[in-house]
Amino acid sequence: MTWLQWLDVPLKALAVLLGGLWVLLNYYRGRTHTPHLQLRVFAERVLRDGDEYLMIKTELSNVGLSRVDVVNEGCIVTISGHRLPKKVEFVMEPRWEELANLDLYKNQEWVEPSGLLIDSQVVPLPGLTGRFLRVWVHFETTAVALNSSAIVAPLAATGLTNQATAEKT
């Protein structure tokens, strides 16, 4: 047996071992074992039988591979209103008046890996016909807080719906 044949067996074993470690490293690097959440809010104004309603749908998806614990007291939807002045003479920042706070994902304790939470609510809008509405969503976990918002314009005189969509990652 020559020295090349003697060295051949350990080198092949070392190459297989290093190749396996390289594959394992790339496998773990390609996975996300940390929470990675996406929060979306959809808001739509609807006119039914002369009454105006705001339909709110929130979606929270966990695209990571770890379970995420939810803090129930920190998950809310805030609806604010803004009335435009009759005449606008300069650029201004809107003054939002807080109208309502709604609970979100009530009694939900966690989000599974690759899971999706959906919460839908219908809110009557008495006397808010001419106002712009802002729907602001706040979601809290034990490690991170997410915010997302959408602005919904007043219904047009001839239109039946007006919707807004926002996404925050």
Q: Where are the domains of the chain?
A: 1-30, 37-168
Q: Which of 42-46, 51-55, 68-72, 162-166 has the lowest mean pLDDT?
A: 162-166
Q: Is the pLDDT of residue 69 over 70?
A: yes
Q: What b-and-e string marks burial along 53-88, b requiring 16 or more CB atoms within 10 Å of the CB?
A: ebbbbbbbbbebeeebebeeeebbbbbbbeeeeeee
Q: Provide the pLDDT for residue 158.
A: 43
Q: Provide the pLDDT for residue 107.
A: 85
- pLDDT, mean over the chain: 85
Q: Is the pLDDT of residue 161 over 60?
A: no
- Two tokens, residue 93: 């920042």
Of the two residues 163 and 79, the one the predictor is more confident about is 79
Q: Phi/psi at 122 (nearest 5 deg)?
A: -120, 125
Q: Which of 17-21, 43-47, 48-52, 140-144 has the lowest mean pLDDT?
A: 140-144
Mean pLDDT along residues 61-79? 85
Q: Quickly state the pLDDT bin for 93 (edges 50, 70, 90).
A: confident
Q: Provide the pLDDT for residue 59.
A: 94
Mean pLDDT along residues 125-154? 90
* DSSP string computed for the chain: --HHHHHHHHHHHHHHHHHHHHHHHHHHHHS--S--EEEEEEEEEEEETTEEEEEEEEEEEE-SSS-EEB-GGG-EEEEEEEPPPSS--S-----PEEEEEEE-STT--EE-TT-EEEEEEEEE-TT-TT-EEEEEEEEEBSS-EEEEEEEEPPPPSS-SEEEEEEEE-
Could you give the CA distance from residue 126 to residue 141 in angstroms, rounded to a whole number?
Answer: 34
Does 2.60.40.10 match the CATH number of domain 37-168? yes
Q: Provide the pLDDT for residue 31.
A: 63
Amino acid letter for position 75: C
Q: How buried is 10 (Cβ within 10 angstroms: 0-12 exposed, 13-18 middle, 19+ buried)?
A: exposed
